[in-house]
Structure 1
C-alpha cells in the first residue's frame, strides 16, 4: 500500500527538543549569530538549553493570550530564533505561520489579510523600518520578540511568567504554515499537519542512513523554510551536533567550518555554488565532509564535482533531492567522485519506495521524452493539505486520485530516473531545456557565479550572467562556450545583488526578464 511505511502519528513540534534533550542533553548547537530573544546564551548552546528556551518563550506566548488553534505569524529579523519561535508556538497549540525576513512590508500586509487577523510576532527593527502601520489593524495582537514598540507587547516584559505544560493536539490538524518561493507572484501559504511533517522526515532519514550520528551537520537554509523546521527536528532527534549559519558568505562559512568541521552540509543550491571557492581555501573547511546535500532545487554538476573534490574523506557523496515546498523531497540521487563533471545534472534520481511516487503526463499524446517533455506529477505523504485561503487554487493542482502537479516539465528514462528540464512557466520555444544549457555554461566557464537564461519580448533568449568578484566577462571564452548551443542573445552581465531573489536565493526569472526589458527600453 502506498506510504505503508509511514506510521499513523505526527512529529509533535512543540516537544521535539524536549525529547532530543532527554536522549543527548549536552549535544551542542553552534551558531554564527546571537539569538535576538536570548543573546545572553551566546553562540554555543546545548539541546537542554534550547529545550528550556522553547519552554520559557512558549509560556510567555501563553501569558500573551496565544491559545490552541490560533494562527501566529512570525516575521522578524533573520536568525535561528525564527525557527525556535515556531516550536514555541506549537508548544502551546498554536499554528506557526513563517514569513521570511526578506519579504517586503506590503507583501507581509497582504498575507496577513489572507490569514485573517492572526497574532503577529515581529521585532522593533521590522516595525520601525519595514512594516506598514496597518499591520496593527490586520492583527489580533502584535508581540515584539526583540526591542519595543508603541502598541505592541514585548515578550521580554513577560519574563518570569509561570511555565505552562505543552499542549498536544490531534496530528491531522494544521501544525505549520510556510510560504512558497513566490517566483511567479505573491507567495502561497502552504498548510502542513503533524502527519505531513513526519512524512517529510522519512526520506531524509533514508539519505542519512550511511552517516554516523556523531557527524556534525551544518545547515544554511532559510529559517522560515519548512525544510528548516522538519530538518532541525530530525537532526536533533538523531543526536547530531548542529551548526546553523545565518550568513552564507564564504569567509564566514570557512571560519565556522575550520573551527567546527562538519561531516554533513545542507544548503540551498546557490549557497553551495558560492561555497565552491572553499575547495581551495587554505583552512580546508570542507575536508571532513562525508555528505553534501541541497534543498529541493536542481544543483549544477560543476558545483557537485568541486565540493566532492574538496573532501578528504574516503568516499564522500552528494545527495541531490528534488521536490518543492508543497511536497517535500520526492526523488533523490547520489553522486560520488567518479561522476565528476560529466554527470547529467538534469537527472534528479528515483523516488523513495513506499514513501513517494512520480509520473510524467504527456502533452501531445506521445510518451514524454527529452524533446517532448511532459508534466511532472507526484504523490507523497508529505504533501500539504491546502493553500490557506486559496482552496480552489490548491484543487487545480491535484487530480481526483491524488497526483500533485509540480509545475515542472520532464521525462523518465527506461531505468526509472526522473529528468527535470524546466519550470512550465520558464519554458522557452526552441530550447528543450534552459537548465541544461545553464549546466553546460557553468561547466565550461568556471568564472561564472550565476547564469540565467530568460526570454526576450522579441528576438533570442538572453543569458544573464554574474562572475566571481564581478570581473568582466571574457567575450572570447563566452563565444567558444556557446558555439554549439542554441542561438542566444549577447550576455547581459549583472552583479549578484542585482538579481531578484526569493527567500531561498532562487532567481525570480520572470521578474528578471521584466527588469531586463525595462533596462533595454531605457525605462
Structure 2
C-alpha cells in the first residue's frame, strides 16, 4: 500500500514560497535563466511543472522509463522532477559516461521509450540507441515551456513503486543501474534532513557531487524538506571552487572524499572559512583531509561527518569529526597503529539499520572478526534493472543486502571497513588502513592506493604540484607498517576514476601489469 509522508521532489519544489532565497549555480542552465550566478527556485518549479506537460506531449507516459543524459545539475533536477510528475521513471546518466558505456548499461533493459539529451550527446544517442523511438532535445523543451500549462496532478505518494534509476560508480566494471522506490528515497532524505536539523544548519548548502547519483537525489529532497537554499557546482576544479566558496560563503559543503582531498590545499587561503558542516560519503575520507578541512573553518564547532552507505542501502553508519579534536586523536592514532592497520573506523550503525558480519557461507561471526558485511535497512533499493542476476546473488531473500565490503563490527555496533571484498590484501592488514596512516604522514601525496600484486603489497601514488618524493622518510614510515614493493609514482590524471572519484583498482592493477602508466621516481 502507498505510504503517505512528506511530499517528494516535484511537490516540494512547488511548495517553496515565492520569496524563497535564490539558489546559487556556477553554470548557465538551459531550462531556467541564471542571473549573477543566481536562480530563483520558483523558476525551477515552474520549469518542472511546464516541462512535465511538454514531455507528455512528446510521448512520455506513466510507468515508462526515460534516459536523462544532460550536463548541468540544475537541468537534471528540472528534468527528473518533470518526469516523476508524470509517474514515469527517469534513468539518470552521468555526462562523463561515453556512448558505448551507456549503451552497454541499458542493453537488456526493457521499457525505455525516450532519451532526453542535447547537442552532441543527443546526436550520439540517436546512433547509440537505435531501438529507442523517441529522442527529445532538451533545448527544444526549454523553448516550448512558455507555450505549455503547468501540470495539475494529485499530491505525490511515497510507495514501493519505481521512482528513479541511478547508477553505481562502476569501480569493478560497467556501472549497474539501481532502481529506487519513492519510499526509499523519501526515507533516506528524512534521515539527512534530521541530521541537518540537529546540526542547526542555515545558509546555503553547497553540493559538488555527481548530479545523477542517488546521494544527490536524496540530498536535493532533504534540502527541499528544510526549505534550505542550494549552491550547485558543476565545475569542481579547485580554482572554481575557491572562487565560488569565497564569493557566496555557504555553511554546508558536500563532495566526494577524493575531491575533498584535491581541495584541501585551499584551506589556508580561506576557502572554507564559512563552512560549519563538511559532508562526505561514497568512500572513506582520510584523517589528514579531515584535519585540513576543519582547520580551514572559522567556526569553533565545525564538524566533518562521514556517512557510510551505498546507492543500494542508503545510510548505514555515521562518524563525526569535531574541530579541535584532531591533534589529540592524531597522537592516539600513533599509539594505536596496530589497530589502525586493521581498517578505517566508520562509526556506529544508525539505530534503524541492522548490520551483520558473516563468513563466506553466510553464518554470523563473533564481534571483531572480519567478514562480509550485510545490512538490513529501510532505505534499501529495489534492484539492478540491468543485472538482476547480481540482485538475486547479493540480496537473495530481500532482507540482507551484501554490501561487497569486508569489515568488522564491535559489540557496541561500531563498524570498521577493512577493504572491498574484491580488493582484500593478504593477512589481517587493511589496505585502507595503510593508506590512512601514510597519507597523514605524507600530506604532499595527492593520492595513494595500496594494491596486492602477485602476493606483494604495491603502493601507487601521485604527488601534489611542486612536491617531491621523500624517499628516506617513506622507507622509514612504510617499513614499520608492512613489507611493500617500491612505490610507483604516476601523474594524478592517470589514476582511473569513477564519476564519484573512486579509484578503479582492478583497472589500475591491469595498467600496472601492462606497464601502461607514466611512472616517475
- Same fold per superposition (TM over 0.5): yes
Is contact 1:63–1:161 with CA below 8 Å preserved after alignment? no
What does 1:235-246 correspond to in 2, within 5 Å? 235-246=223-234
Aligned partner of 2:348 among 347, 350, 355: 350
Q: Cα gap change, 1:470/1:402 in structure 2, threshold over 3 Å: closer, same or farther?
A: farther
Matches within 5 A, 1:326-337: 326-337=312-323
For 1:366 and 1:205, the matched residues in 2 are separated by 33
Once the two structures are overlaid, the 10-residue window that deviates more, 444-453 or 110-119, is 110-119
The CA RMSD over aligned residues, in Å, is 2.4
Give the superposition deviation at 1:455. Answer: 2.3
- The match for 2:336 is none
Taking the aligned partners of 1:310 and 1:489, their CA distance within structure 2 comes to 35
Assess if the C-alpha contact under 8 Å between 1:363 and 1:373 holds in 2. Answer: no
User: 2: distance between equivalents of 1:333 and 1:18?
Assistant: 34
Distance in 2 (CA, whole Å) between partners of 1:88 and 1:508 is: 34
Match of 1:124 in 2: 119
Indicate which of 453, 461, 464 corresponds to 2:450.
Answer: 453
Aligned-residue offset at 1:476 = 2.0
Which residue of the other structure, out of 283, 290, 297, is the alignment partner of 1:311?
A: 297
Aligned position for 1:72: 66
Equivalent residue runs for 1:285-296 within 5 Å: 285-296=271-282
2:373 to 365, 376, 379: 376
TM-score normalised to the size of structure 1?
0.90
Partner of 2:127: 134
- Tell me how many residue pairs correspond in the alignment: 501
Matched, 1:497 2:493: yes
Specify every segment of 5 or more residues in structure 1 that has no aligned partner in the other structure, as ranges: 1-5, 147-153
1:324-473 paired onto structure 2 within 5 Å: 324-340=310-326, 342=330, 346-353=344-351, 355-363=352-360, 367-368=365-366, 372-400=369-397, 402-430=399-427, 432-456=429-453, 458=454, 460-469=456-465, 471-473=467-469
1:144 aligned onto 2:137:
yes
1:17 aligns with 2:3: no
Give the direction of change, closer, same or farther, for the CA distance of 1:138–1:41 in structure 2 (3 Å limit).
farther
Match of 1:507 among 487, 503, 513: 503
Q: Distance in 1 between matches of 2:38 and 2:145?
A: 22
The CA deviation at 1:247 is: 1.5
1:109 equivalent to 2:103? Answer yes
Tell me the residue number matched to 1:251: 239
**What is the DSSP-based 3-state SS (H/G/I as helix, E as strand, rest coil) of the residue aligned with 1:419?**
strand
Is the contact between residue 8 and residue 195 of structure 1 (CA under 8 Å) also seen in structure 2?
A: no
Q: How does 1:85-104 map to 2 (within 5 A)?
A: 85-104=79-98
Q: How far apart are residue 431 of structure 1 and its match?
A: 5.3
Structure 1 CA distance, aligned partners of 2:205 and 2:517? 48
Bigger drift between 96-105 and 392-401 goes to: 392-401
- Structure 1 stretch 135-144 or stretch 322-331: which is displaced more? 135-144
Q: Summarize deviations over 1:217-248 as a string: whole Å, max 9, x none.
A: 11111011111112112112212221111112
Relative to the length of structure 2, the TM-score reads: 0.90
Q: Do the aligned partners of residues 465 and 65 (structure 1) sit closer, same or farther apart at CA in structure 2, a change above 3 Å counting? A: same
Residue matched to 1:150: none
